[in-house]
A and B are shown apart, each in its own frame.
Chain A
Amino acid sequence: MVPGWTGRSRRFERDALPHLPALYRMARQLVGVEAADDLIQETYLRAWRYFETFDAATNCRAWLFRILRNVWINRWRKSRLELPLAETGEEQVEPYYDWEDDFLRDEMSAEVERALSELPADYRLAILLADVEEFTYEEIARVTDCPIGTVMSRLNRGRKMLARLIRTYGEAKGTGPKPDEFVRRKL
């Protein structure tokens, strides 16, 4: 124990600081490498300020991600205009994930990141919370302050959109299959 530390400091060290790498990963995808440090700094300052209100019986990681999202919306997102999420009809027959066995097994991180950055921010956030941070739908709903149905919808549409973009970038790179190489099937 460090002399002079308050109980609050010890709890913050134990409960909040270990999640910094996970929050950083998310920050980087939301605002880019240049602003990620600032977003993290501000998130932790706010977390520290309100740490007394945090219920230790609940999930600290989800609490921190919720703060991160709020800081991001208040500081960064409002400065960037985004088109509203189009409620397009389902494309029932497109086999989004039916790529060949070796596709996406190769080194395609750059294409995946580029595709992620092209997604509407709410879709991107839902996908990152589910696939990278492995939050439950209920936790994602709390973090993003929306109903679970909306979470499900964002994940479904976002993943399909992401798959389509990755396929496009994969084709451009020459590592992915040509469009006509995909086997379309009716469901």
Chain B
Amino acid sequence: MMDCKNIREILDLYVDGELSPEATVQADTHLAECPACRNTVAGLNRLRQGVKAAVGQYQPTLQLVDRVRQSTISRWTHVRSWVPITAAVMLFAALVSLFSSQVRGVVANGLEVAAFHLDDSRATVMEGKLLCRDCLLKDEYGYHAMCPTRGHHGSLQTRDGKVWNILEGEASEELIHNSKLLGRTVRIHGRCFRRASSVEVDSYEVL
């Protein structure tokens, strides 16, 4: 059985709910019979509530909350998310734009311009199959070729499928007009004019 002295010794434990269930029952029994100790417990609880009310009235500012977020999770968010997000948006835009023929034309021209700057009118060695330009156009586009009456017109088709005009000249005479060379693989030394899809022949060899 607890008395007033016992209650005073365990007062903090009692109000903080740290007593064992048995000790709590004993304390409750005493408090039910002792108005003075009940008053003391009530006074201590008022002190605790007073502390909570005084301290609990303060809230952090929104600026502080933002600052903490920025310096912790948001910092990583910015670093980690912007790179893939930007890349994904650009890729998506590029894919979508390819569905437009105008955009495709612009892109193709842009690539051509870039290619001209990279490789224009330079001495080059080109290798490919000698084919008749007019017959190719006839096969692909239904072009009304004059080959039966005017003869074939040799052109160079490189491995990428592109067809190059062979510019007239002494060194290119055979390549253009000798139909026996059609279908042969040749290596041409000369100059390349990408914008005109043409090649000037300095010399060549039939492979």
CB within 8 Å of B: which residues of A?
2-6, 8-9, 12-13, 17, 20-21, 24-25, 28-29, 37, 40-41, 44-45, 47-48, 92, 95-99, 103-105, 108-110, 112-113, 116, 127-128, 130-132, 136-137, 152, 155-156, 159, 162-163, 166, 185, 187
Judge if B101 is at the interface, Cβ distance under 8 Å.
no
Q: Are A166 and B16 in contact (CB under 8 A)?
A: no
List B51-67 residues whose CB lies under 8 Å from chain A.
Answer: 51-61, 64-65, 67
Q: Contacts A2-B77, A40-B68, A137-B18 hold; do A162 and B59 have CB atoms under 8 A apart?
A: no
Judge if B36 is at the interface, Cβ distance under 8 Å.
yes
Task: Say how far B66's CB is from chain A's closest CB, in angstroms.
Answer: 11
**Which of B16, B47, B72 makes the CB contact (< 8 A) with A104?**
B47
**Which of B13, B40, B43, B67 makes the CB contact (< 8 A) with A152?**
B13
A63 to B155, CA, bound (A): 80
CB within 8 Å of A: which residues of B?
4-5, 8, 11-13, 16, 18, 36, 39-44, 46-61, 64-65, 67-69, 71-73, 76-77, 80-82, 84-85
Task: Say how far A154's CB is from chain B's closest CB, in angstroms.
Answer: 10
Q: Are A24 and B58 in contact (CB under 8 A)?
A: yes
A97 to B50, CA, bound (A): 12
Task: Say how far A155's CB is from chain B's closest CB, in angstroms.
Answer: 5
**Which of A9, A155, A163, A185 makes the CB contact (< 8 A) with B77?**
A9
Q: Contacts A41-B67, A132-B51 hold; do A155 and B12 have CB atoms under 8 A apart?
A: yes
A21 to B56, CA, bound (A): 9
Report 30 cross-chain contacts, Cβ distance below 8 Å, ordered by A residue: A4-B77, A4-B81, A5-B80, A6-B76, A13-B73, A17-B68, A24-B59, A24-B60, A25-B55, A37-B60, A40-B60, A40-B64, A44-B72, A92-B8, A98-B40, A99-B43, A109-B53, A113-B55, A116-B54, A116-B55, A127-B51, A128-B55, A132-B52, A132-B56, A156-B11, A159-B12, A159-B44, A163-B43, A163-B47, A187-B5
Residues of B within 8 A of A28 (CB): 55, 58
Residues of A within 8 A of B57 (CB): 109
**Which of B8, B16, B59, B71 makes the CB contact (< 8 A) with A130?**
B16
Q: Contacts A3-B81, A187-B4 hold; do A166 and B50 have CB atoms under 8 A apart?
A: yes
Task: Say how far B34's CB is from chain A's closest CB, in angstroms.
Answer: 11
A110 to B40, CA, bound (A): 23
Residues of A within 8 A of B67 (CB): 37, 41
A44 to B71, CA, bound (A): 9
Q: Are B56 and A95 in contact (CB under 8 A)?
A: no
Residues of B within 8 A of A29 (CB): 55
Task: Say how far B98's CB is from chain A's closest CB, in angstroms.
Answer: 25
